[in-house]
Chains A and B, each alone.
Chain A
Amino acid sequence: MNAVTHTVEPTGIGPVEVTVAEYGSGQPFLLLHGGAGPQSVAGFAEKFAATHEVRVLVPTHPGFGGTARPEALDSIAGLAALYQGLLEQLDLADVTVIGNSIGGWITAEIALLKSPRVSGIVLIDAVGIEVPGHPVADFFALTMQEVFARSFHDPEKFSIDPATLPPAAQAIAAGNRAAIAVYAGSAMAEPTLRERLGTLEIPALVLWGQSDGIVDVDYGRAYAAAIPMAQFQLLPATGHSPQMETPDQVLHAIWDSATTDFSAFTR
């Protein structure tokens, strides 16, 4: 892994410093983390690059992981513009953008910018749309133990007591929480996104943990149904962070999607 800080100037925001961890070489992927921070996708990126000829770029959204966030960068759309600028700066082509949770919402907004550099998207338990009767769980109203319980099929393997973290890690966690509030708010949805997704013309893979307690499976089906060329796939024994809990299922779903019989998965 190699981490580089890039300075990108998205329109209307000004210069933004973004730290990007990079794994492997080959077919390019941009992998976007959710509210759980960059470490929630780092292991997956490492595994992906170790087993396939891929170049996986993992940015830390400014404000997460103890990094600085410019005041003007205060929305999911702003992050999407930032990462489109990064792809331009790195002159990448045929990029597949993968995002989990809030990272999936950023991914959807990047796709809607319709850059030819982005050829496909993978949404993993993404938030961002409004689905009547299926609200995104209110992260800010939950205790961390409740968040863990809702985030994993088997929370025992992943739960930690935040009070036992060293002060530096607690400060980073507090920063992450503040960044989530700025970028996504407590609703974690944007009212126009669902309809706008209907204009997408690139292929999309929508992967959903069957045990997700943050955004339920019907919400995921609605997400896939909103995108004209989306395929939906349920991941058994998996919660809200499949790339952490069942990374092999996620890798198989992406790499071997040509041989998946999607008719087996009810939309």
Chain B
Amino acid sequence: MAKTAVTRITHSCHLIEIGGRTFLTDPWFSTRPGYYQGEPIAVAIPDLPRLDGVLISHEHYDHCDLDAFAAYRDRSVPLFVAETVVGTARGHGFTNVTALAPWEQAEVGGVTITAAPGKHGVYEVTFVLRAGSDAVYFAGDTMFIPELAEIPKRLGHISLALLPTNGLHIRPADNMQVVMNADEAAELTAILKPELAVPHHYAFTKGFLGDRLITHSDKNPLHFQDASRTLAPETSVRIVEPGIRIEL
């Protein structure tokens, strides 16, 4: 059976190989004033492999860069998205767009895609991909919410978890937290009990002034690794540079 593997492209944008299929998560392939990956974009759109599906957690630019991703060679690629993304996806010419609400499922070539809850500044869903005994959880940039504890109860064992860790706060919004932090990601890891956890969504920066006036975040993924050693010692945490493919 084909190996389950993940290649980080940048931020929360990954290639996930599972059940012999390849999926892309939360596409982000460009930059805008005040939105920077803080790390390389490891794969350009023309160099993407043939995709069996694309998962999009919510409509924010750094997760749903359809202006750039519309250049992908096949806009009939199946998109599985939060319902708030459907209009913009179709508007960008994607013809096979399916909205998934939490716990709704779809199937692509033997891989089951299940949406899971999420909570962010806007409506967000997260996703579990399962093929046989392997399952990958993609957490987008959700907050840590109690509903996420339902994932293993409803969907069984998670093998690999891709989790945000920067605890992003929005200063002008009363310093509201909108993304889980390293400790919370480690708590979630303890609940999901995956063999492997990979942090993402930590290098992001709004630039010199934006990081001072607009956002506040933890850019060090080692904090997640450290917290997981205490809270989820059975899970191996790997900090993965963009472009590096890791197998389960």
Contact = CB atoms under 8 A, between A and B. Distances in A.
B231 to A, nearest CB: 29
A203 B36 contact: no
A120 B211 CA distance: 10
B210 A120 contact: yes
B200 to A, nearest CB: 21
Contacts of A238: none
Interface stretch (B27-35, B100-108, B115-123, B145-153): B27-35
Given A27-B208, A94-B205, A94-B207, A119 B36 contact: yes
Nearest to B33: A202
Contacts of B63: none
Interface in B162-216: 171-172, 205-214, 216
B48 to A, nearest CB: 22
A74 interface: no
Contacts of B207: 94, 96, 119-120, 202-203
A267 to B, nearest CB: 13
B36 to A, nearest CB: 6
User: How extensive is the interface on chain A, given as a class?
Assistant: 20 to 34
Nearest to A231: B213
Across the A-B interface, the 4 shortest Cβ-Cβ residue pairs: A119-B207, A120-B209, A258-B212, A116-B31
A94 B203 CA distance: 14
A197 interface: no
A257 B212 contact: yes
B208 A96 contact: yes
Residue of B30, B32, B216 most packed against chain A (CB within 10 A):
B32
A258 B213 contact: yes
Contact of A119 (B171, B172, B208, B216): B208
Contacts of B211: 258
A202 B31 CA distance: 13
B209 A96 contact: yes
Interface in A229-262: 229, 231, 254, 257-258
B216 A258 contact: yes
A182 interface: no
A136 interface: no
Contacts of A115: 33
A219 B206 CA distance: 28
Interface in A110-160: 111, 114-116, 118-122
| Dominant secondary structure of chain B at its interface with chain A | mixed
Contacts of A258: 171, 211-213, 216
A202 B212 CA distance: 12
Contacts of A226: none
Interface in A81-120: 93-94, 96, 111, 114-116, 118-120
A201 to B, nearest CB: 6
Contacts of A80: none
A122 B208 contact: no
A94 B208 contact: yes
Nearest to B30: A116
A205 interface: yes
A205 B209 contact: yes
Nearest to B214: A203
Contacts of B32: 114, 116, 201
Interface in B21-43: 30-36
A119 B212 contact: no
Residue of B33, B34, B171 most packed against chain A (CB within 10 A):
B33
A192 B205 CA distance: 31
A114 to B, nearest CB: 6
24 contacts: A27-B208, A93-B36, A96-B208, A96-B209, A114-B32, A116-B32, A116-B33, A116-B36, A119-B208, A119-B210, A120-B34, A120-B207, A120-B213, A122-B209, A201-B32, A202-B209, A203-B34, A203-B210, A203-B212, A205-B209, A229-B213, A229-B214, A258-B211, A258-B216
A115 B35 CA distance: 11
A118 B216 CA distance: 19
B176 to A, nearest CB: 16
A80 to B, nearest CB: 14
Given A96-B209, A202-B210, 8 more contacts: A93-B36, A118-B33, A120-B213, A203-B206, A203-B210, A229-B214, A254-B209, A257-B213
Nearest to A258: B212
